[in-house]
Structure 1
């Protein structure tokens, strides 16, 4: 509920539909975990649509484009209400499209990479609210799985302090909301992608999760991009990125 108006909030979202969707028994929905819901052209959405995949782009609490107050709604609540929003909207759209959860994937970069792992390892309750959606697979790029470690190994520690909280005073909350803490609850195979020269989100943010999933015997792939910083840049790197993504989806989702 909106504390100012007393009315229920409505989240903004776009559903991008492929002109030639995959056959019904192989239909896929991919959900952007954060930084979605903007009225802009996205080459990534178009590439996924061209592959026959539905794409859901929603604006959870904390998103840009809807005013300062809305953008601040996840301050000190990283992995909290924004995660609940994405669970609710994913479940709603998957039901509308009649796509089973095992063929619903979540993807994102940076904060979105964190949120991808958070959604796939969500323990079931946060801020006194229970929610559940077993995402079938995930693709995270340049994300972090340990909030406190990220705070001490990033060139923007002020960001984690604002979004997540104080790494000392709020340490118990930050540990609980770190995906690596609940890695044993991961709901499906995970593709981790990271540049080894990333000084905003150090490659350890993905490496630690890969190591933990290996220890737990979970299905994952970890692809490193030599010399690459934060995000996927350059024609050849983008070719490799999409090649890795589609190969992962084909082998770990469609052919299982």
Structure 2
């Protein structure tokens, strides 16, 4: 009897080996197909989401650019590098502006670097003034007035100016008088200048240079829509 049972088992094993593995389960096949479709759908959704996020980011950047105008004062002036523009006094008449009244006022964006722009300010035949606008390590801006004599030596009143309190958000900078300048003004007998604030502002069509303090406002507006001839090299900068 045992022999018969063993023979039957052996025959069953032999038949299984000959017939191969059982057919795959249709339910499992369908589930696998659905899983693959779901994975493809998820990948497609991820790509669509990435594209949407990118579009929103680009739109936000465009909106910020539209609100703030040029990236900054240095960048905006650098875009005008090599060009010269005529200006005029646009502040109310003031006898303290006599040195500028009735004279040709020209700004020349003469030298441009990544973090500094040098702009001579010519007043008729007086080529003594150059504005130095510099970006500091923390993003704030500094303005210095470089004043030279005709022989190129520095004037007594030179290198005065100030710094912005914060990094400017756009193409306007308010420079608050610095300690060096305050001490210079007091030493040279003009203590009222120790509260000066200089403002430079750039738009698509104009550049503004302003000086303000209590009971004092001076403004020159330069027309950027029309270039003028390049003025002479400012005094003391011939070898620069």
* Fold agreement, TM-score > 0.5: no
TM-score under structure 2 normalisation?
A: 0.25
